[in-house]
Amino acid sequence: MEKARLQELYEKQIRPELGKKLGLNNVMQVPRISKVVVNLGVKEAVADSKILQSVASITAQITGQKPKQTQAHKSVSAFKIREGMPLGVMVTLRKRAMYEFLDRLINLALPTVRDFQGVTDKFDGRGGYNLGIRDWTIFPEVDFSVTDKGHGMNITIHTTAKNNEQGYELLKAFGMPFKKKK
């Protein structure tokens, strides 16, 4: 089985350059992306559970992997939510699927966002990165005739970076379009 394009790029070009740039002697110290988690909350699923099935099928097309349903942890009477009620879907991507999804996200989806200025460079303190997308129709896999409403998604990129600077340099090397610093 052939490796994904971004995985080959990381192994042949990014990892050696990043190791030199960060001053790391051992190849195993160079940060890498360990997993990508895609999460969608669907508030309309409270009234109609069939919406969740269509969201799950489109999420599977976007990520290339079948999503898992997420349930409510608590009952909230104001929102008519009961404990255990399905409220969203999530996918954890690793290895080849992760690199292919990141390739489509960075090179196809994000540049199609209207008036796109770049993504924020705020990390979680340990090299992890969260990206919120307001509308999933930026992905070319989403068919407009099937969906009547756009859904937002949260994409979390987990890295082995020790701090925010290493995480920033890693994602920048992959081509993540961060906002220009003023």
The structural domain count of the chain equals: 1
The CATH number covering residue 62 comes to 3.30.1440.10
Residue 24 lies in a domain: no
Residue 60 lies in a domain: yes
Residue 15 lies in a domain: no
- Which single residue is written with the structure tokens 């994409």? 155
Tens-place pLDDT, residues 117-173: 777 778 877 778 888 887 777 776 766 655 566 677 888 889 888 888 888 888 888
3-state secondary structure of 76: strand
Backbone angles phi, psi at 125, to 5 degrees: 100, -20
Chain centroid, CA 17 distance in Å: 24
Confidence of residue 16 (pLDDT cuts 50, 70, 90): confident
Confidence of residue 79 (pLDDT cuts 50, 70, 90): low
- Which single residue is written with the structure tokens 């989806």? 109
Global pTM value: 0.79
Residue 26 lies in a domain: no
Q: Which domain holds residue 69?
A: 31-174
